[in-house]
Amino acid sequence: MTSRALSPLDLLLVDAQNALGTLAGRPVARRPNPAADTADVELDASERRHAAGLMRINHVGEVCAQGLYFGQAAVARDPQTREHLLEAAQEETDHLAWCADRLEELDSRPSLFNPFWYAGSYSLGVLAGLRGDGWNLGFVVETEHQVEAHLDEHLESLPEADLRSREIIKVMKADEARHADHAEQAGARVLPQPIPALMTAASNFMKAVAYRL
Ligand SMILES: [Fe+2]
Ligand SMILES: [Fe+2]
């Protein structure tokens, strides 16, 4: 089915379904969980709490990625850009599912504010997309670089023994770098200040909240 065959109402319903799938459903990964063969080392209570806080941040990051990509895809002009965005969103679904699995293993849960994060990111995606495909792809590059940087911080900060979270984060980091490269090659423009600075501020706020709630 191509996007040309879909009416605006169809597109709206597809978007609503994607949102519900991200927020209320149990996303299914296409690839195996990278931690599947890694030992689940016993963590003490404070290590577990810290690991869960970081994995909840990563889970929120993936909820935001879904919102951003679906928002951008909804208004992308070029069918190739749209396809590119939806392809990246599929890999983000793997990340979402792996983070949800790990949160469950750590006896924790996703952020209570996921509907808020999703709605905010979707709106940002639509706004970016309306400015044209170069901007759209520029947002992808900036987002992916920021996510990559915070995944690096998490690899530093996770308890040494949390090997399973580490395996998941390593694969996510490689995927995010590839998403950024692809968007760059597809013609992303470099976002001018203050956009990257505002995105960093929003992501720091998100991280501070999602670590606990
Ligand atoms: Fe991701
Ligand atoms: Fe990504």
Please write the tens of the pLDDT for every residue from 116-168.
Answer: 999 999 998 898 888 888 888 898 899 899 899 989 999 999 999 999 999 99
Q: How far is the CA of 61 from the centre of ligand 2 (A)?
A: 9
| Residue 120 burial (10 A CB sphere; 0-12, 13-18, 19+) | middle
Q: 79 and 38 in contact (C-beta within 8 Å)?
A: no
Please write the tens of the pLDDT for every residue from 39-67.
Answer: 888 889 999 999 999 999 999 999 988 89
Q: How far is the CA of 194 from the centre of ligand 1 (A)?
A: 24
> Is 105 annotated to bind ligand?
no
Q: How far is the CA of 185 from the centre of ligand 2 (A)?
A: 15
pLDDT of residue 12: 64
Q: How far is the CA of 121 from the centre of ligand 2 (A)?
A: 14
Contacts 24+ apart (CB under 8 A), 128-133: 128/68, 128/71, 128/72, 129/71, 129/72, 129/73, 129/74, 129/75, 129/76, 130/75, 132/77, 133/76, 133/77, 133/78, 133/81, 133/187
Q: Which two tokens stand for residue 158?
A: 């996770």
Average pLDDT of the residues of the chain: 87
- The pLDDT-based confidence of 84 (bands split at 50, 70, 90) is confident
- The pLDDT-based confidence of 26 (bands split at 50, 70, 90) is confident
pLDDT of residue 89: 83
- The pLDDT-based confidence of 25 (bands split at 50, 70, 90) is low
pLDDT of residue 134: 85
> Is 176 annotated to bind ligand?
yes
> Is 104 annotated to bind ligand?
no
Please write the tens of the pLDDT for every residue from 168-192.
Answer: 999 999 999 999 998 899 888 998 8
Q: Which two tokens stand for residue 77?
A: 């002009």
pLDDT of residue 105: 94
pLDDT of residue 20: 67
Q: 43 and 51 in contact (C-beta within 8 Å)?
A: yes
Q: How far is the CA of 146 from the centre of ligand 2 (A)?
A: 10
Lowest mean pLDDT among 23-32, 45-54, 101-110, 192-201: 23-32
Domains present along the chain, CATH in parentheses: 9-23+40-212 (1.20.1260.10)
- State whether residue 2 is helix, strand or coil: coil
Question: How crowded is residue 17: how many other Cβ atoms within 10 Å of its Cβ?
Answer: 11
